[in-house]
A and B are shown apart, each in its own frame.
Chain A
Amino acid sequence: MSRTPTTLDLPALVTDPATRIVVCCGSGGVGKTTTAAALAVHAAEAGRSVVVLTIDPARRLAQSLGVGELDNTPRTVPGVGAGGGRLDAMMLDMKRTFDDVVHAHADPQRAAQIIANPFYQSVSSSFAGTQEYMAMEKLGQLRAEADRTGRWDLIVVDTPPSRSALDFLDAPKRLGSFLDGRFVRLLAAPAKVGGRASVKALAGGVAVATKVLDKLLGAQLLRDVQTFVAALDTMFGGFRERADATYALLSEPGTAFLVVAAPERDALREARYFVERLAHDQMPLAGLVLNRVAQPGPIGVDRALGAALQLTDGEESGAAERAAAAALRLQASVGALAARHRAALRGFAAAHPGVPVAVVAAAPTDVHDLEGLRQILR
């Protein structure tokens, strides 16, 4: 049984016109944003019209993409597009995205009312999962714009870091089910549906619950929630529907999920979780991006160490000999690291033989400019 995984050809993936959406997911700090940006640059330079949605990019990367100012709108990246393509980049502003959703669906007066509601402010700026949810909302918006205007034929999305869960898959549902939650419905019910039988049956329990929560949290909070949900309810076809639409978009065949991972054993264990979860949800997984993999030098570890020893053996070894020996020793330790990375990859491949893998070499320093991004896919 071969333990060598199939190769995932990233340039081919993003230049294939059938690929419409690429989603980069993975644990914190593995290189999701960098990978998303590099793929977007590559596709644009191959002639596609691309938009990349980044989440909290490193400051210098944001600056090189021209999105140093957070304004939630795609801006064309200067210096990309010699090949007839174009790259637009944006950085997600979750609060603003939420506000936009409200504005798009309510008349100005009502929108202002909702946006001023303290409960709304809390949810839109910090509900666990709001960032994930708004990333998916934004993806839906970008896709709608792409379909309407033909401005983009490829959308590359970055996701917030998540380890033990695919939060961006779950968050819309979580927020949706919260707002569609039974208690919220019941709270909002008196204002709308009046006396439906099913509601009446629970009314006693709700009255008790409301009293207790009022005491516990202060009466104002429940009132804020009530007005918030009532206001929201009249204008949305329910959060759940929006969440479902995004979810459907993600499972389309034109979508390609990439799980980005660091080449360490523990990190790959997490990557396996992502792979399994995507499979479980029948999301189109394109493969694993193994990022920052150490590259062995041109000669083997033992040979390099032996040569280094020989070079510094003689008393009268000169500066060039000493430098060569030092560089060989360094290559040997990187070579040992590279062997460990390969072993970690074999472990992954044994567990998931069907998942293609792209190996991305570790650059010596951080990647924060266009040239660095171009290097990544070489």
Chain B
Amino acid sequence: MTPSPDRVRLHVVTGKGGSGKTTVATALAMALARDGRTVLLVEVEERQGLAQTLDTPPLGPVERRVADGPGGAALWALSVEARASLLEYLQQFYRLGRAGSVLEKVGAIDFATTIAPGVRDVLLIGKVFEATRRTSGRPHPKGTPEHYDAIVLDAPPTGRITRFLSVNEQVADLAKAGPIHSQAGAITTLLHSDQTRVHVVTLLEEMPVQETVDAVAELREAGLPVGAVVVNQARAALLDEPDEVALLALADGTIDVPAVADAVGSVGIDDPQRVAGSLLDTARGYRDRLDLEAAQYDLLEQLGLPLVLLPLLPDGIDGGALAELADLLAEELDPEPDEDAGQLDLPENGLAR
């Protein structure tokens, strides 16, 4: 199975803090690492979120193979560090073997990596950029793949994503010349190209949805290609349909509480009045929650982007849970061409292509 070359190479995963960016990025990378493909998963905030999620020792600035997939597929992961990238730069542009340590000594490395977020971001994305450019035969760090079929970036949250990806504008006012400046230009070209998709992870709640809507508008404004909206931690329907209809009738007052009290009394439950009152509260709460989720879902649909639903897994995230989410994402990536395919068919700029 040869991977088709026109696929998206770079998947950027953003979302509100705590919505599940790291989890979704990891599951997406696992979903992409099938059929013999080699995938790189990258984090940029030096928080070891990937290592925790993958339950593997801390990641460093050089990629490490963290998982194997079917058909010889491989997942590599890396935690980009601004300092390491800067030293790499200096090495590359100035062959600064020893001068590097002079810079370190006077505090210039710390200075340059913290001085301006724009510069830092160029250093961070620069590393991702390098990975997308890898082709067979070109130099690459020893012992690492010479080519990646896809790269997944566990990116900063929605509030910072557009700025993070707008490296060009960021450095334009600061670094007016030099390699950082020109690197920013090349990165911008990649980020605005067809090879990149920015996916937004959200929860079906007011704030995350608001942030998602805002972020999508900002990303579009900045000309960055938005991919899918991933609705994460979606609660499974707690009731089947007939139950739901009956419950809503109670919530709306079509069925009155005394009748419910009689019913629960008839099966021997103590204090039926009080229990019936609590059942009414439960029914109303459920209705309100459904209304809220429906309203939020509407807002997301209005974005005109593919929506991908991932369930809330009751026992949290471990290896099995990641595999389960990866399977769901893989389905979105490669919709089976059967009768039901209509449902899974993604618009042009979905997760897949």
Interface on A for B, CB 8 Å cutoff?
27-30, 56, 58-60, 118-119, 121-123, 126-128, 161, 163-165, 174, 178, 181-184, 186, 202, 205-206, 208-210, 212-221, 224-225, 264-266, 297-299, 303, 307, 310-311, 318-331, 333-334, 340, 364-366, 368
Contact = CB atoms under 8 A, between A and B. Distances in A.
B275 A299 contact: yes
Interface residues of B, number: 89
B283 A218 contact: no
Interface centre among B107, B173, B288, by most chain A C-beta atoms within 10 angstroms, is B107
Contacts of A322: 242-243, 246
Contacts of B268: 307
Interface string B112-146: 10111111100000000000000000000000000
A127 B249 CA distance: 53
Contacts of A310: 267
B296 to A, nearest CB: 10
A126 B117 contact: yes
A214 B175 CA distance: 9
Given A217-B112, A217-B180, 7 more contacts: A29-B16, A122-B116, A212-B90, A319-B246, A320-B259, A320-B260, A365-B289
A265 B316 CA distance: 8
Contact of A221 (B99, B157, B174, B247): B174
21 contacts: A119-B116, A178-B110, A183-B110, A186-B106, A186-B107, A205-B102, A206-B106, A220-B176, A221-B175, A311-B263, A311-B264, A311-B267, A320-B259, A323-B249, A323-B283, A326-B247, A328-B264, A330-B247, A330-B283, A364-B289, A365-B291
Contacts of A311: 263-264, 266-267
B329 to A, nearest CB: 20
A341 to B, nearest CB: 11
B217 interface: no
B112 A213 contact: yes
A28 B18 CA distance: 5
A196 B262 CA distance: 91
Given A299-B275, A330-B247, A365-B292, A218 B178 contact: yes
Nearest to A160: B17
A330 B108 contact: no
Contact of A208 (B103, B120, B250): B103
B285 to A, nearest CB: 3
A218 B174 CA distance: 8
A321 B260 CA distance: 7
Nearest to B286: A330
A186 B103 CA distance: 12
Given A297-B278, A325-B243, A330-B282, A217 B119 contact: yes
Nearest to B176: A218
B89 interface: yes
B7 interface: no
B195 interface: no
B48 interface: yes
A266 B317 contact: yes
Nearest to B103: A209
B interface, by DSSP: helix, strand, loop or mixed?
helix
A310 B250 CA distance: 19
B9 to A, nearest CB: 27
Contact of B18 (A119, A163, A364): A163
B239 A182 contact: no
Q: Please give me the 6 A-B residue pairs with the lowest Cβ-Cβ distance, nearest first.
A: A28-B17, A364-B285, A28-B18, A183-B107, A320-B259, A209-B108
Contacts of A60: 206
A202 B104 CA distance: 12
Interface in B48-69: 48-49
Contact of A325 (B160, B246, B262, B286): B246
A126 B203 CA distance: 26
A354 to B, nearest CB: 26
B316 A216 contact: no
B61 to A, nearest CB: 18
A59 B250 contact: no
B205 A366 contact: yes
Contacts of B106: 182-183, 186, 202, 205-206, 209
A333 B282 CA distance: 11
A327 B247 contact: yes
A340 B313 CA distance: 13
Nearest to A60: B206
Given A266-B317, A320-B255, A208 B99 contact: yes
Contacts of A320: 255-256, 259-260, 262-263
A225 to B, nearest CB: 7
B102 to A, nearest CB: 5
Nearest to B249: A323
A366 B260 contact: no
B17 A161 contact: yes
Interface string B204-219: 0111101000000000
Contacts of A321: 263
B116 A221 contact: yes
Contact of B175 (A30, A217, A307): A217
Contacts of B48: 164
Nearest to A225: B115
Contacts of B112: 213, 216-217
A105 B117 CA distance: 25
B224 to A, nearest CB: 18
Given A122-B116, A330-B286, A364-B288, A298 B243 contact: no
Contacts of B238: 329-330, 333
A56 B238 CA distance: 32
Contacts of B110: 178, 181, 183
Nearest to A184: B111
Interface in B232-249: 238-239, 242-244, 246-247, 249
B17 A216 contact: no
B3 interface: no
B18 A122 contact: no
A219 B174 CA distance: 10
Contact of A368 (B19, B203, B206, B255): B206
Interface string B150-173: 000000010110010000001001
Interface in B185-210: 203, 205-208, 210
B279 interface: yes
Contacts of B220: none
A303 B348 CA distance: 51
Contacts of B280: 327
